[in-house]
Amino acid sequence: MMKQLSDYSCAYARQLDQEDALAKYREEFYVQPGVIYLDGNSLGLLSKRAEASLMELLDSWKQYGIDGWTEGTYPWFYLSESLGEQMAPLVGALPEEVMVTGSTTVNIHQLIASFYKPDGKRTKILADELNFPTDIYALKSQLKLKGYDPQEHLIEVQSADGNLLNEEDIIEAMQEDVALILLPSVLYRSGQVLDMERLTEEAHKRGIVIGFDLCHSIGSIPHQLSEWGVDFALWCNYKHLNGGPGSVAGLYVNKKHFGNAPGLAGWFSSKKEKQFDMNHDLTPADTASAYQIGTPHVLSTAPIIGSLSMFSEVGIEQIRHKSLQLTQYMMDLIRHELSAYEFTISNPTEDDKRGGHIYLEHPEAARICKALKDEQVIPDFRAPKGIRLAPVALYNSFEDVWESVQILKKIMDGELYKNYKNERGVVA
């Protein structure tokens, strides 16, 4: 980890970039000239490798037609499984435990339908009040489908400050009436990293199935899902993994659950060798492949091939190391340059608790984000007063961080944010 910052110059930022072993990967991405992109925790940038793999799979359609399902470099019929194998090291899983399939919300529905089995007094689902809305919508839907009132059967652990969760509160809520737990690995606003190993251990002590939403952690922090005994997990691939807008998502199922039928069955839940028997009785795959539902979205999966090749080369440990350096550097600069203003750093500052982005709070956050965008710094606004800034290890530089803080200081010094309304756009 970097020592306490004492040199706040641009020259120092450039020195850090010269010493950065990952600096060369910036050239792999389409970084627009003059733009500092700090929104990779919402949508990662396009890489040249992702573009190439998309074009390769488009060409396989052109060249092979229907034979593309079994021909070419990446046969479509096995694409979800082969990418699951490549993605497994990012979540610390066995190759057969990971599948590239569905979307985040579809995978939540699939996994809750598969693992939520109310029995006797165990009827409740435990989540948290800071979770991303789609998770809560899906949980409420699944409760209703089982005939339960979400007002009574969905427990949302409360936050004391609206930004962070106390893990002791989560553990205390693991009561005898809880059947299943779904939590974020990293909170989407504050970037707090939850101790997944500890929470899994505590849940299992009480006989409760537990899963995690990894949308804000995959590609940013290491995981050891299999070692920790996590029952299931899900994630999107368009943030830190740079799979493209609406790219196909991913899921993990611990091998101890293999052999169970999926809650939502579909054709691609089948064992591969049985799928074209066209039998009306499903023979589910004996791997995480059973949790697929429909036909793979080949062209929306294709960019992930190119993106994953970089993660395979670099390794998640190196990415995490640089990510922590970038976010620590940004916090140091913010404290030094912006102390005169009303900014609050509301993300955890400890390395083991901080995800891949900085979360600043300010009463004029929506205005400030608009001003930053007009200055070619791309942030992310989260109501009511949050500014998320995500310097991404593979394509952001230390000079990007330095420049962005200087621009933010210029906006505050000149009160340039007052030229904008303090309200979010349709898409924030």
Q: Report d(CA 420, CA 186) in Å as an integer.
A: 31
Cα–Cα distances in Å, from 19 out to 24, 25, 267, 314, 396?
11, 14, 51, 16, 14
Contact 26, 400 (CB under 8 A): no
Q: Report d(CA 340, CA 350) in Å as an integer.
A: 23
* pLDDT (average), residues 295-322: 98
* Residues annotated within a binding site: 104-105, 132-135, 213, 216, 238, 267, 295
**What proportion of the chain, given as a percentage, has pLDDT over 70?**
98
Predicted confidence (pLDDT) at residue 171 exceeds the cutoff of 80 = yes
- How far is C-alpha 266 from the geometric centre of its chain's CA atoms? 26
Residues 351-396 pLDDT 10s: 999 999 999 999 999 999 999 999 999 999 999 999 999 999 999 9
* Residues annotated within a binding site for pyridoxal 5'-phosphate: 104-105, 132-135, 213, 216, 238, 267, 295
* pLDDT (average), residues 117-124: 97
Q: Could you tell me the pTM of the whole model?
A: 0.96
Residue 133 contacts by C-beta under 8 Å, 6 or more apart in sequence? none
pLDDT grade for 4, boundaries at 50, 70 and 90: low
Tokens representing 193?
A: 């990293």
Does residue 384 have a cis peptide bond before it, meaning omega lies within 30 degrees of 0?
yes
pLDDT score recorded for residue 1: 43
Q: What angle do CA 248, 251, 254 make, to 5 degrees?
A: 165
Residues 54-103 pLDDT 10s: 999 999 999 999 999 999 999 999 999 999 999 999 999 999 999 999 99
**Distance spanning both ends of the chain, measured CA to CA:** 33
Contact 344, 362 (CB under 8 A): yes
Encoded amino acid at 25, one letter:
Y
Tokens 């349709």: give the residue: 426
Q: Report d(CA 186, CA 392) in Å as an integer.
A: 16
pLDDT grade for 425, boundaries at 50, 70 and 90: confident
Q: Report d(CA 288, CA 31) in Å as an integer.
A: 36
Residues 13-54 pLDDT 10s: 999 999 999 999 999 999 999 999 999 999 999 999 999 999
What are the structural domains, with CATH classification, of the chain? Answer: 10-30+315-419 (3.90.1150.10), 51-313 (3.40.640.10)
pLDDT grade for 426, boundaries at 50, 70 and 90: low
pLDDT score recorded for residue 422: 82
Averaged pLDDT of the chain: 96
User: Hey, what's the torsion of the CAs at 369, 163, 194, 309, to 10 degrees?
Assistant: -10
Q: Report d(CA 357, CA 330) in Å as an integer.
A: 10
3-state secondary structure of 154: strand
